[in-house]
Amino acid sequence: MKPSRVAEVLGGLLDTRWPAFVWGAPGVGKSSVVRAVAQARGLALVDVRAPLLDPTDLRGLPYLREGVAAWAPPAFLPADPHSSGVLFFDELNAAPPLVQASLYQLTLDRRVGEYELPAGWRVVAAGNRAEDAAIVFRMPSALANRFVHLDFEVDVEDWAVWAARTGIHPLVQAFLRLRRGMLLDTSTMERGFPTPRSWEMTSDAVKRFGGAGPALDVLIGIVGEGAAIEFAGFADRTLRAERVDAILADPDKADLPTDLGDLYALVAYVGVRCDDDATLRGAGRLLARLTPELGLLLARQVLRLRPDFAADRGFAAFAARHREALR
């Protein structure tokens, strides 16, 4: 499932009593999607790192109550019977088998010993896959059968929506539009390798060090040597921010680039800057000069960040020509 579908399904499962387990490669955004779903529903999120637990942690500590042994549950388990939220066990299958076994009763019966999970809380877990060279333990079948299992797969279009909203550097956005397979590459997983998380780190490094070239030695430690050199080469030869400024200053007549990578960079730069009203107007006028495919990409990116773009005359004319594609 692509991330948007995982979020949709998780949202639906929160209305049932069945726990969900999200499987995926390291760094693809599993935890972020769970947090986003909880936030969108206005639910509290308790994030428990399962590998840090001991088998007895969920049961709690024993104490005497009127001469009888009772158990004090751990503080991270929700106690307010009127509260609601998501109890999230991250990296669950990286926990030893005895820790995983301690979750049997909680995931299905919603209780551990004397403790009972409040009715408004749901259980979600996530973990890496053994084929991605992650440190994992085989999940016992009795525990696996208690979950609805969701396979998280990266999707460039979903990532691009997130990247535009998050302010990922335009050159990173443009590069991964052109080299879609580089968003996640687990063929060489020694130290740094390309994942959605490491490309976010790359974006921050490019911003901090003033470009891909000055940050190359850092990028090698983030996405690996091959990906870093390819990205730095792309950044060195692609559209400069100064050229984007010149195009936006005269969007009706300025020469547009012809290289596909440069055009992706132009769209990404305009999308990132569309909080400025002058850039927004320039985006509307550019729509008439771009191919329908690139125009749709630009229109959707700007609309996600500036819904008022729908009132722009340039967008209205573009939408009239491509009404079916915009649906």
Q: What pLDDT is recorded for position 109?
A: 87
Q: What is the DSSP letter of 73?
A: -
User: Which pTM was predicted?
Assistant: 0.82
Q: Tell me the DSSP string of 238-282.
A: S--HHHHHHHHHSTTTSPPP-SHHHHHHHHHHHHHHTTSHHHHHH
Q: What pLDDT is recorded for position 4?
A: 93
Query: pLDDT 10s digit of each residue in the chain, 327 long?
Result: 999 999 999 999 999 989 999 999 888 999 999 999 999 999 999 999 989 888 888 888 888 888 888 888 888 999 999 999 999 999 998 888 888 888 888 888 898 888 899 999 999 999 988 777 667 788 888 889 999 999 999 999 999 989 988 889 999 999 999 999 999 988 877 788 999 999 999 999 999 999 999 999 999 999 999 999 999 999 998 888 889 999 999 999 999 999 999 999 999 999 888 888 889 999 999 998 999 999 999 998 899 888 999 999 999 999 888 877 666
What letter represents residue 39's amino acid? Q
> Could you tell me which residues come within 8 angstroms of residue 327 by beta carbon, excluding any fewer than 6 positions away?
none
Q: What pLDDT is recorded for position 294?
A: 92
Q: Tell me the DSSP string of 274-288.
A: TTSHHHHHHHHHHTT
Distances (CA, A) of 200 to 159, 170, 173, 211, 259: 11, 12, 10, 14, 25
Q: What pLDDT is recorded for position 326?
A: 67
Distance CA 264, CA 315 (A): 19
**170 within 8 A of 205, measured Cβ to Cβ:** no
Token pair, residue 215, equals 């940050």
Q: What sign results for the dihedral spanned by CA atoms 10, 11, 12, 15? A: positive
Query: Which of 179, 194, 237, 242 minimizes the C-alpha distance to 212?
Result: 237
Distance CA 158, CA 165 (A): 11
Q: What pLDDT is recorded for position 133?
A: 66
Distance CA 227, CA 92 (A): 30
Q: What pLDDT is recorded for position 327?
A: 65
What letter represents residue 252's amino acid? D
Distance CA 206, CA 171 (A): 9
Backbone conformation region of residue 210, classed left if phi is above 0, alpha if psi is from -120 to 50, else beta: left
3-state SS, residue 227: helix
Q: Which domains are present in the chain?
A: 3-151 (3.40.50.300), 156-326 (no CATH)
